[in-house]
Amino acid sequence: MQDIDVKSLETAFQDRIDQEIKIEPRDWMPEDYRKNLIRQISQHAHSEVVGMLPEKNWLTRAPTLKRKMALLAKIQDEGGHGLYLYSAAETLGVSREEMVRDLLSGKAKYASIFNYPALNWADMGVIGWLVDGAAIVNQVALQRTSYGPYSRAMIRICKEESFHQRQGYDICLQLARGSDEQKRMLQDAINRWWWPVLMMFGPHDSASAHSAQSMKWKIKRVSNDGLRQKFVDQTVPQLEFLKMTAPDPQLKWNEERGHYDFGEIDWDEFWNVVKGVGPCNKRRLAVRNKAHDDGAWVREAANAYAQKNN
């Protein structure tokens, strides 16, 4: 009897998805759909928060007042994205404290891209241009995701991300027009970020654990490889405009396909960073843990004060 009920609920659920009706927090949903979304949205939120750290690294050294303000505003936006996304995940019945605990213990993942170091000022340009650029390609696809609160968070976030991308590209343009040293900085930053950025789209569709079910539930709308190709196609002309190169000898236009061909990602590196053995994994988590521990007494004080005064 119960089995039949669940079956019919599942059918009705899939029907709604197929008809492009958004799933809202109070709607019935399969337990795996809920878990899958919590995993994805919380990972996304953690990525925004950890993603503040590589850019923070250059904030106090930004070369002009204008750049310093723009960078601070951008990092602040990322923190704001973290907040919306934690709220979106909370609608699925998980608390921000639990999610943060999983991040700090290393149980939850965040985007591997932020486990790479920001080594020179050009990294601030290249992160905005390529990392935010890749995030936009992913996130534009997610605006149509089936879960209402996530979809709405994405729409709001995408507007700010495109601003970040323009701002990042503007730093790159300035360096590309600058001195030999500035050009060297820019090429160095592109060389270091290029492959990790292509990795942001995840494993090949054939090797992706969550892809098929996520596509059926329309949590995910376009495949990893499809998004990666889209990103490369839109980025190469921008790279050429800067008169810079990508560290990929196989990158070239394929007339027949109407797309750029590009080389194979180093998947060993990809999985290593995912598993926690990347250049900055330990450092990023240590910084988040220290901030959280150092802040404990402040959060306790605020709670105690609120209790005494209400």
Binding site for Fe ion (CB under 5 A): 48, 78, 81, 132, 161, 164
Contact 132, 164 (CB under 8 A): yes
CA 187 to chain centre: 23
Half-sphere exposure of 215 (CA within 13 A, CB side): 9
The option from Fe ion, other proteins, none interacting with 123 (CB < 5 to 8 A, set by class) reads none
Q: Which stretch binds other proteins (CB under 8 A): 23-31, 78-86, 190-198, 234-242?
A: 78-86
Interatomic CA distance for residues 278 and 256, integer angstroms: 37
Interface characters, 181-220, with other proteins (x: CB under 8 A): xx--------------------------------------
Contacts of 302 (CB under 8 A, 6+ apart): none
φ, ψ for residue 258, nearest 5 deg: 70, 25
Q: Select from 156, 41, 18 the least CA-distant residue to 93.
A: 41
Q: Using the rule CB under 8 A, is 72 a contact of other proteins? A: yes
Q: Select from 59, 15, 88, 32 the least CA-distant residue to 209.
A: 32
> Residue 71 or residue 232: which is nearer to other proteins going by CB?
71
Contacts of 10 (CB under 8 A, 6+ apart): 30
At position 5, the amino acid (one-letter code) is: D
The option from other proteins, Fe ion, none interacting with 166 (CB < 5 to 8 A, set by class) reads none
Q: Using the rule CB under 8 A, is 76 a contact of other proteins? A: yes
Element (H, E) at 254: strand 252-254
Closest approach, Cβ 30 to other proteins, in A, equals 31
Element (H, E) at 7: helix 2-18
Q: Using the rule CB under 8 A, is 276 a contact of other proteins? A: no
Q: Using the rule CB under 8 A, is 131 a contact of other proteins? A: no
The option from other proteins, Fe ion, none interacting with 97 (CB < 5 to 8 A, set by class) reads none
Q: Which stretch binds other proteins (CB under 8 A): 52-60, 137-145, 187-195, 234-242?
A: 52-60
Residue spans of alpha helices (H) in 200-266: 211-216, 224-241
Interatomic CA distance for residues 71 and 58, integer angstroms: 9
Q: Which stretch binds other proteins (CB under 8 A): 77-85, 142-150, 157-165, 262-270?
A: 77-85
Question: Contacting other proteins (CB under 8 A), which of 2, 19, 64, 310?
Answer: 64
Closest approach, Cβ 131 to Fe ion, in A, equals 8
Q: Using the rule CB under 8 A, is 286 a contact of other proteins? A: no
The option from other proteins, Fe ion, none interacting with 69 (CB < 5 to 8 A, set by class) reads other proteins
The option from Fe ion, other proteins, none interacting with 136 (CB < 5 to 8 A, set by class) reads none
**Distance in Å from the first CA to the final CA of the chain:** 49
**What's 130's DSSP letter?**
I
The option from other proteins, Fe ion, none interacting with 72 (CB < 5 to 8 A, set by class) reads other proteins
Radius of gyration of the chain (CA): 21
Which residues of this chain interact with other proteins, rule CB under 8 A?
Answer: 49, 52-53, 56, 59-69, 72-73, 75-76, 79-80, 82-83, 86, 121, 171, 174-175, 177-179, 181-182, 287, 290-291, 294-305, 308-309
